[in-house]
Amino acid sequence: MAKTKEKLALDKKTTWKKVFQYVKKYWFMLVLSFILAAVTVAFTLYLPILTGQAVDEMIGPGQVDMAVITGLLKKIGIAILITAAAQWIMNICNNYVCYHVVRDIRRDAFQKIEILPLSYLDSHAAGDVVSRVVADVDTFADGLLMGFTQLFTGVLTIGGTLVFMLIYSAPIALVVVCLTPISFLVAKFIATHTHDMFQEQSKTRGEQTALINEMVENQKVVRMFSREEEVKERFGEINDRLQKCSLKAIFYSSLVNPCTRFVNSIVYAGVAIFGAFLAIGGGISVGNLYCFLRYANQYTKPFNEISGVVTELQNAFVCASRVFALIDEKPQVPEDADAVELGTAKGNVELRDVYFSYVPEKKLIENFNLSVKPGQRVAIVGPTGCGKTTVINLLMRFYDVNSGSISVEGVDVRHLTRGSLRTNYGMVLQETWLRGGTILDNIRMGKPDATEEEVKAAAKAAHAHSFIKRLPKGYHTVITEDGGSLSQGQKQLLCIARVMLCLPPMLILDEATSSIDTRTEIRIQKAFAKMMEGRTSFIVAHRLSTIREADVILVMKDGNIIEQGNHETLLAQNGFYTNLYNSQFAG
């Protein structure tokens, strides 16, 4: 338990340091905000003095001095105007600092996502990552703004009020100081009990966002298998947990107002009673008593605000710690200081003694060796889970090998810049990805400077031109990030057109025609055959009919190459490949 508390304290300390690192860049606005807060507090505390003097000028029959009162009213008006102007400019400064800090945090979080290893993104729910960058940062922004707006003025008001009360009457100030610890005890009790609850609330909210994101993206699959009720139950369970932990957090945070108001009443009553006895004895004037009662309210009011701020800051800093945890994640292995640009590759690829597994306790690829010459077509086949797509991930350096090496043009890929390596590959995956924008923008993704005619030529080569023309605005039709009303096959054709537009020296086709009908597939295969001429190509396919023309077919099982050769050679061996082939064409 001690270790857990120590770790939690360290986490809080680290979070505070990180917030300070972001805030200190805007120190000028912060200092200006503090100065304006001091001005605001000074004139706010000056107002009761002026009002008390006005009261003293009206005590007793025939003792109303209108000339003095008029002068005091003018001073009161000027003080109010200065206070309002200072508060207005202070709020502008606070908003500037807060939303610039939030902008910086979101920017750093998004930039970190761009360089995180795929192993992190594969092991964390996308909805939880989105929740950190969007919802958690919003909550942090609210707490930070409240802290800037109320914390400065609250602390200065407490200190300034005590100073003014000590100047006018030390005994009354002593009464206030003696009652002050009650406010601190209340604030400490609430702060202690709310941190863990808000932490649990934030975590559960991220879990809920992840489930919603998953279900929205895969609604067709959910309905196809009639899993609506099960999904509702899962959502209900998470929603109930969120409701319970949120209720606890809100309950304790809601104690702030009644508890602090109770403390306020005690302080106010103490000042009123003690001050009344002093006034009766002639120790202070009635105007001074009025002034002290105003000070009692102004002194205790910041405790209300600070207690509320502390509660909000607990929630805000819990959310901030989740965002900073993302920002502090280890990025992908950095490129070597002497990493070289690959340039345009010829297509020499070699895998030597490659070992790789996603988790150490579960072996996958072992002692994998392969040498590919320029222009060769290498097909990779085998049962699901044998490591076909993993080989592609290693070729693209989405993952690094555990041991062994992969080289392109004789250079280990770990000594090449990732950008230059991946630029030399054209990749069409089984899973399609489109971004929000026009059809033209989506095809241009790999070659932003391509002309519209070049895009159309690529679309024609991919057999996508005909369906694009039928869209409302043709190539300028805007689609959403999931392709909108486009079929899976049409989305796949757009992804193929992207590669057709770039025509890099090496190609990777991972089940590239899995979502296309047989007739279109035949036409696409012809387009692929033309595109692959003179280019090193890696083809992952379950449909063995699509890889008959491959120069080399690698038959994989349990992460190892068990057979290797062309289509005719492998059939003649009457081995594992023959069984796979016959199972598809037994009819």
- pTM value? 0.64
The better pLDDT of the pair 398, 66 is held by 398
| Mean pLDDT for the stretch of residues 348-353 | 90
pLDDT of 478 over the 80 cut: yes
Closest by Cα among 309, 271, 315, 278 to 293: 271
The rounded distance, in Å, linking the Cα atoms of 295 and 163 is 11
Chain-centre distance for alpha carbon 516: 35
pLDDT single digits (tens) 204-218: 887 888 788 777 777
% of the chain residues with pLDDT over 90: 3
With tokens 């800037």, the residue in question is 148
The rounded distance, in Å, linking the Cα atoms of 204 and 103 is 25
pLDDT band at 220 (very low <50, low <70, confident <90, very high): low
> Cβ neighbours of residue 264 under 8 Å, at least 6 residues apart?
297, 300, 301, 303, 304
pLDDT band at 10 (very low <50, low <70, confident <90, very high): very low
For 12-46, b/e burial (b = at least 16 CB within 10 A) is eeebeebbeebbeebeebbebbbebbbbbbbbbbb
Do 386 and 557 contact (CB within 8 A), yes or no?
Answer: yes
Reading the block at residue 500, the tokens are 């057709």
Q: Write down the pLDDT at residue 246.
A: 82
pLDDT of 20 over the 70 cut: yes
Q: Write down the pLDDT at residue 543.
A: 67
| Mean pLDDT for the stretch of residues 115-140 | 81
Residue 423's SS3 state is helix
Most confident of 121-125, 346-350, 385-389, 429-433: 346-350
Q: Write down the pLDDT at residue 1.
A: 38
Shared fold status for 335-424+504-512+536-587 and 431-503 = yes
Do 275 and 202 contact (CB within 8 A), yes or no?
Answer: no
Q: Write down the pLDDT at residue 307.
A: 63
In this structure, of 103-112, 186-195, 390-399, 544-553, the range with the lowest mean pLDDT score is 186-195
The rounded distance, in Å, linking the Cα atoms of 512 and 493 is 9
pLDDT band at 304 (very low <50, low <70, confident <90, very high): low
Q: Write down the pLDDT at residue 437.
A: 86
> Parallel, antiparallel, or unpaired: how do β-strands 411-412 and 403-408 relate?
antiparallel
With tokens 């597994």, the residue in question is 357
Q: Write down the pLDDT at residue 324.
A: 87
Q: Write down the pLDDT at residue 545.
A: 64
Do 155 and 271 contact (CB within 8 A), yes or no?
Answer: no
| Mean pLDDT for the stretch of residues 262-285 | 74
Q: Which amino acid is at 310?
A: V
Reading the block at residue 65, the tokens are 């001095």
Q: Where are the domains of the chain?
A: 2-327, 335-424+504-512+536-587, 431-503
Instruction: Please give the helix or strand (H or E) that residue 164 lies within, else none.
Output: helix 152-168
Q: Write down the pLDDT at residue 303.
A: 67
> Cβ neighbours of residue 545 under 8 Å, at least 6 residues apart?
584, 585
Q: What is the CATH number of domain 431-503?
A: 3.40.50.300
Strand partners, 350: 371, 407
| Mean pLDDT for the stretch of residues 49-58 | 73
Reading the block at residue 27, the tokens are 């120190």
pLDDT of 7 over the 50 cut: no
Do 424 and 344 contact (CB within 8 A), yes or no?
Answer: yes
Backbone angles phi, psi at 293, to 5 degrees: -65, -40
Closest by Cα among 506, 501, 488 to 220: 488
The rounded distance, in Å, linking the Cα atoms of 540 and 555 is 11
With tokens 């809100």, the residue in question is 250
Q: Write down the pLDDT at residue 3.
A: 40
The better pLDDT of the pair 117, 285 is held by 117
Q: Which amino acid is at 363?
A: K
pLDDT of 546 over the 70 cut: no
pLDDT of 364 over the 80 cut: yes
The better pLDDT of the pair 238, 148 is held by 238
pLDDT band at 585 (very low <50, low <70, confident <90, very high): low
Q: What is the CATH number of domain 2-327?
A: 1.20.1560.10
Q: Write down the pLDDT at residue 88.
A: 92
Q: Write down the pLDDT at residue 539.
A: 86
Closest by Cα among 169, 166, 172 to 271: 172
The rounded distance, in Å, linking the Cα atoms of 197 and 251 is 10
The rounded distance, in Å, linking the Cα atoms of 41 and 154 is 9
The rounded distance, in Å, linking the Cα atoms of 109 and 148 is 23
Q: Write down the pLDDT at residue 81.
A: 93
Q: Write down the pLDDT at residue 195.
A: 65
Q: What is the pLDDT of the chain when averaged over all its residues?
A: 80
pLDDT of 9 over the 70 cut: no
The rounded distance, in Å, linking the Cα atoms of 307 and 183 is 9
| Mean pLDDT for the stretch of residues 514-532 | 71
pLDDT single digits (tens) 399-452: 888 899 999 988 888 888 888 888 888 888 777 788 888 899 889 887 888 899
The rounded distance, in Å, linking the Cα atoms of 114 and 61 is 79
pLDDT band at 6 (very low <50, low <70, confident <90, very high): very low
Strand partners, 552: 378
In this structure, of 28-42, 49-63, 239-253, 333-347, the range with the lowest mean pLDDT score is 49-63
Q: Write down the pLDDT at residue 4.
A: 39
Residue 379's SS3 state is strand
pLDDT single digits (tens) 57-102: 676 555 666 777 788 788 888 988 998 999 899 889 888 988 898 8
Sign of the C-alpha dihedral computed for residues 289, 292, 298 and 299 taken in this order: negative
Q: Which amino acid is at 484?
A: G
pLDDT of 586 over the 60 cut: no
pLDDT of 117 over the 90 cut: no
CATH architecture observed for domain 335-424+504-512+536-587? 3-Layer(aba) Sandwich (3.40)
